[in-house]
Amino acid sequence: MNPAAQTPEPAPAPAAPAISDAERAELRRQGILLTSIEELYNWGRSNSVWPLQFGLACCAIEMIAASMARFDIARFGSEVFRPSPRQADLLIVSGTVTKKMAPQVVRLWNQMPEPKYCIAMGACAISGGPFKQGYNVLKGIDRYIPVDLYLPGCPPRPEALLHGLMELQAKIRAQPLTGPAAPAHLRPGADGGECVIPDFGPHDLEPPHDPARWQPPRLIRTE
């Protein structure tokens, strides 16, 4: 007997009401843990962001200080500085990127597995900083690799790096695991894509920036 023939179509179940954080905390006190795979997954990876052990200039000194006992980056689960890009989740571009060093930085980024994140630490990594007009300084690492977080300062103090790391953790926690905004490794068919490694040209890096990732800012005139 087909029950659908006799009983009317059941009304669709009402969507579960969103549970507020207070209710969830109350449930947790009662021994009931309500969560989603997405939340659990992001909770895990946001609390074990392993940076690449890689420094370029004075910002690297602040990064090292952040990893030591006074600031103690281990409180945020990022104390494991990996000496191999294959094992790292986070590239902290800490310092001036010279044009001679830029291809190696991009190559390290390409060698990191997805999901991977990049912090441009300090004025130099963001834009070239005080050396912007220099003959051998790249005007920002975002010309070649996608930057998740810009951390200003010259150099930023370790507290600033920790703040940046917390912001990055918040960004990771908010990442959905499905849909177009998911990390590249979870999107079927999506290739995170290798970044263009620039060549050493006779006068400048070739190309001087990756046109697909970065364009010089346009000036929009408004009355």
Partner 1 sequence: MEAIEQLHARLSARFPDAAPTVVLNPGPAAQHSLLVPATQARAIAEFLRDDPELQLDTCSNVTGIDWPEREVTETVRRTVTEPPAADAPPGTAPAAKVVEEKVRRVVPGHLEVVYHLYSVARGHGPVILRLRTGDRGEKVALPSLTPVWRACEFQEREVFDLFGVVFTGHPDLRRLLMWDEFRNHPMRKDYVEPDDYEWEPTPHDRILAQARRHYPVPPTGSGEPAPR
Q: Provide the binding-site residues for partner 1, judged by CB under 8 A.
A: 99-100, 127, 132-133, 135-136, 139-140, 200-204, 208, 216-217, 219, 221-223
CB of residue 96 vs partner 1: minimum separation in angstroms?
13
Least Cβ distance, residue 132 to partner 1 (angstroms): 8
Q: Which is nearer to partner 1, 14 or 202 (CB)?
A: 202
Nearer to partner 1 by C-beta: 17 or 216? 216
Least distance between partner 1 and beta carbon 217 (Å):
5
Amino acid, single-letter form, for residue 117: Y
In terms of CB distance, is 26 or 206 closer to partner 1?
Answer: 206
Rounded to the nearest whole angstrom, what is the least distance from the CB of residue 181 to partner 1 in the complex?
29
